[in-house]
Chains A and B, each alone.
Chain A
Amino acid sequence: MTRYLPVLALAAAVVVVQLAVSAFKAEYLLTQLTMAAYYTLVTLGLCLLMGYAGQVSLGHAGFFAIGGYTASVLSTAGAAVIGFAPWLSLPAGVAAAATVAVVIGVPVLRLRGHYLAMATLAFGFIVSRVILGTALLGQADGISDVPAVKLFAGLVVSGRRPLRVQNYYLAWAAVALGLLLAVNLLGSRVGRALRAIHGNEEAAAAMGVDVGRCKLAVFVLSAIYAGLGGACLAHFNGGIGPGEAGVMKSVRYVALVAAGGMGSPGTAVAVSAVLTFLSLRGVFGLYDDAVFGALLVAIMLFAPEGVTHLLPARRRP
């Protein structure tokens, strides 16, 4: 089935990169490659929302931060709550992001276009300011000393050096699973309904599609991807800071989805992996945010259908 090619290509690329990195004794790169995977989860979720349901969110860093901070608080100051099963911090982070997505999604998704973008932008600002104003969340210092979390079968989400290879595979397995689920969804009845909504809401409704419910469901799903990325990265990094909730982070995710061509989760993952990795390696230096802002402007001006459309004409997947 050709639609699973992106998943297989991702799996192959992940293995090849790890072998190459190990062969060249450059395993220190695995740290940023792992972090890039968790950020790519956000891009992937946002790709479903923007590319298929046609809804723009400029607040997805907010969901990432909600996942990350929930997991961090439950693993540090709130450790007594889930002390019996510390791994619960991950599902708790995901659940927190999903719950907030439902609460804000119901009113906000009534808006369209620019209004929706502005409402989600405001949501991102609110999350950012709440973090900076709340002592429990460490305010400007963030939360540090977030412990590693043991999963099953000896897997541990941790940034410790001996666990680098394991964590690299764990993170990218999460992305591959996320991509697999996304490809499944897009090929299904619900995926068709989402594309129909993107194309024409009135016509989709006239065909029996519950437009409001579909939009909310994919909004929550995209928040779940972001929340999982945030929760995992907090454990991997051993902490989280308020910068994760910043508006420029949200703009960055939008730019990555746009560069990936909106309607192609596989390309979005590839673009996100490469650019996020370069950014984490400091390649863009002090111009980091500017690079992503410029990328967004350039994509909108020159390749609104995504970078792959700059290639010679070919059949779209």
Chain B
Amino acid sequence: MSSDGCLLEVRALHHWFGGLHVIDDVGFSCPAGAIKGIIGPNGAGKTTLFNLVAGSFAPRSGSIRFDGRELAGLPPHRVAARGISRTFQATRLFPRMSVLENVMVGMHPRSRHGFLAGLAGPLATGREEARVRDASRGVLELLGLGPLAGRNALDLPFGRQRVVEIARALASLPRLLLLDEPACGLNPRETEEMAELIRGIRDRGTTVLVVEHDMSLVMGICDEVLVLGSGRRIAEGTPREVQADPEVISIYLGDDDA
């Protein structure tokens, strides 16, 4: 971790698709052990910024330092190996696999056996498989999903699927968890449960970066918030600070671009 206690430091990040400059000189930092929110109107570049951190594509320029090491340009599986895990806006659980198996895939970075050991079978892989299975069950129990372990993941109701996706992301014991609109599509009660869940994850020591549309969720759980507008950094600070920021108020209440 860098000396100032920041787990993630983004500097002078630029990205464009064709002629559209979607991330324009954005910088921010995410303190270790905090919940950091990224908010902004539609098209502000939130999801692009999120995908740049997750390695879905490489930024055109700028730096993304995680724990003092550069991430920009690494493919997603290498980003995951560094200790960053993510969920997706539209949940992407693995079909034809049980809830437990989905979470076991999440353990991929914490297990080692490769192709040859896999061919050799349980004599070579049995102990690690047992460890992966037990740890995955533990994650499910922790999130209250224990009784659903054997169910086909895609048969669950939408709200439960979202929690399974978070369980899958937590299975690798990430140091940074990226949540892409975790409250999207949830009803108010489920959103409140999601807020509790995210706080619990933070309290257990995982830093959380959350892109979110739902203002009540963001303002309720985030320690710090980054506000984006048209690909630029508009404001950054505590929820109270950014809510009082005149520029933030203008883009949300729609001075000119509502």
A residues lining the B interface (CB < 8 Å):
1, 180-181, 183-185, 187-193, 195-196, 198-200, 202-211, 217, 221, 263
Q: When chains A and B are docked, how far (Å) is the Cα of A208 from the Cα of B76?
A: 7
Are A193 and B125 closer than 8 Å at their CB atoms? Answer: no
Q: Which residue of B lies closest to A181 (CB)?
A: B119
Are A196 and B118 closer than 8 Å at their CB atoms? Answer: no
Instruction: Determine, out of B61-69, B96-104, B249-257, the stretch whose residues face the partner at the interface.
Output: B96-104
Chain B residues with CB under 8 A of A204? 94, 105
Q: When chains A and B are docked, how far (Å) is the Cα of A170 from the Cα of B125?
A: 28
CB distance from B71 to the nearest CB of A (A): 14
Q: When chains A and B are docked, how far (Å) is the Cα of A210 from the Cα of B122?
A: 23
CB distance from B157 to the nearest CB of A (A): 19
Q: When chains A and B are docked, how far (Å) is the Cα of A217 from the Cα of B113?
A: 14
Are B97 and A208 closer than 8 Å at their CB atoms? Answer: no
Known A200-B94, A206-B54, A206-B85: A188·B117 in contact at CB below 8 Å: yes
Q: Chain A's interface: helix, strand, loop or mixed, by majority?
A: helix
Q: When chains A and B are docked, how far (Å) is the Cα of A180 from the Cα of B122?
A: 11
Interface pairs (15), CB distance under 8 Å: A184-B118, A184-B120, A184-B122, A187-B121, A187-B129, A188-B117, A189-B129, A192-B108, A193-B105, A203-B92, A203-B94, A206-B54, A207-B85, A208-B81, A263-B96
Which of A1, A185, A221 has most chain B Cβ within 10 Å?
Answer: A185
Q: Which residue of A lies closest to B104 (CB)?
A: A192
Are A189 and B77 closer than 8 Å at their CB atoms? Answer: no
The contact of A195 among B94, B111, B115, B122, by CB within 8 Å, is B94
Are A206 and B86 closer than 8 Å at their CB atoms? Answer: yes
Are A208 and B115 closer than 8 Å at their CB atoms? Answer: no
Chain A residues with CB under 8 A of B241? none
User: B88 near A: Cβ within 8 Å?
Assistant: yes
Q: Which residue of A lies closest to B81 (CB)?
A: A208
Are A185 and B104 closer than 8 Å at their CB atoms? Answer: no
Known A188-B113, A189-B113, A200-B92: A207·B106 in contact at CB below 8 Å: yes
User: B23 near A: Cβ within 8 Å?
Assistant: no
CB distance from A214 to the nearest CB of B (A): 8
User: B206 near A: Cβ within 8 Å?
Assistant: no
Are B80 and A208 closer than 8 Å at their CB atoms? Answer: yes
Q: Which residue of B lies closest to A205 (CB)?
A: B76
Which of A191, A210, A211 has most chain B Cβ within 10 Å?
Answer: A210
Q: Which residue of A lies closest to B108 (CB)?
A: A208
User: B109 near A: Cβ within 8 Å?
Assistant: yes
CB distance from B151 to the nearest CB of A (A): 13
Chain B residues with CB under 8 A of A187? 121-122, 129
B residues lining the A interface (CB < 8 Å):
54, 56, 75-77, 80-81, 85-86, 88, 92-97, 101, 104-106, 108-109, 111, 113-115, 117-122, 125, 128-129, 132, 168-169, 172
Known A189-B132, A195-B96, A196-B94: A205·B118 in contact at CB below 8 Å: no
Are B94 and A209 closer than 8 Å at their CB atoms? Answer: no
Are A209 and B105 closer than 8 Å at their CB atoms? Answer: yes
The contact of A185 among B77, B109, B119, B169, by CB within 8 Å, is B119
Chain A residues with CB under 8 A of B96? 195, 198-199, 263
CB distance from A129 to the nearest CB of B (A): 32
Chain A residues with CB under 8 A of B80? 205-208
Chain B residues with CB under 8 A of A208? 77, 80-81, 108-109, 172
Chain A residues with CB under 8 A of B77? 205-206, 208-211
Q: When chains A and B are docked, how far (Å) is the Cα of A276 from the Cα of B1?
A: 61
Are A196 and B105 closer than 8 Å at their CB atoms? Answer: yes
Are A188 and B125 closer than 8 Å at their CB atoms? Answer: yes
The contact of B118 among A1, A191, A203, by CB within 8 Å, is A191
Given A185-B115, A192-B104, A207-B106, 12 new contacts (CB under 8 A) = A180-B121, A188-B125, A195-B96, A195-B97, A196-B97, A198-B96, A199-B93, A206-B54, A206-B77, A207-B169, A208-B109, A209-B108
Q: Which residue of B lies closest to A191 (CB)?
A: B118
Chain A residues with CB under 8 A of B85? 206-207
Q: When chains A and B are docked, how far (Å) is the Cα of A199 from the Cα of B125?
A: 24
CB distance from A23 to the nearest CB of B (A): 35
Q: When chains A and B are docked, how far (Å) is the Cα of A192 from the Cα of B94?
A: 10
Q: When chains A and B are docked, how far (Å) is the Cα of A205 from the Cα of B125?
A: 22
Are A190 and B118 closer than 8 Å at their CB atoms? Answer: yes
Are A189 and B94 closer than 8 Å at their CB atoms? Answer: no
Q: Which 4 A-B pairs have the closest CB atoms?
A: A188-B118, A184-B121, A199-B94, A208-B80
CB distance from A37 to the nearest CB of B (A): 20
Are B118 and A189 closer than 8 Å at their CB atoms? Answer: yes
Q: When chains A and B are docked, how far (Å) is the Cα of A107 from the Cα of B154?
A: 33
Chain A residues with CB under 8 A of B109? 207-208
Q: When chains A and B are docked, how far (Å) is the Cα of A154 from the Cα of B81?
A: 50
Known A200-B92, A205-B76: A189·B111 in contact at CB below 8 Å: yes
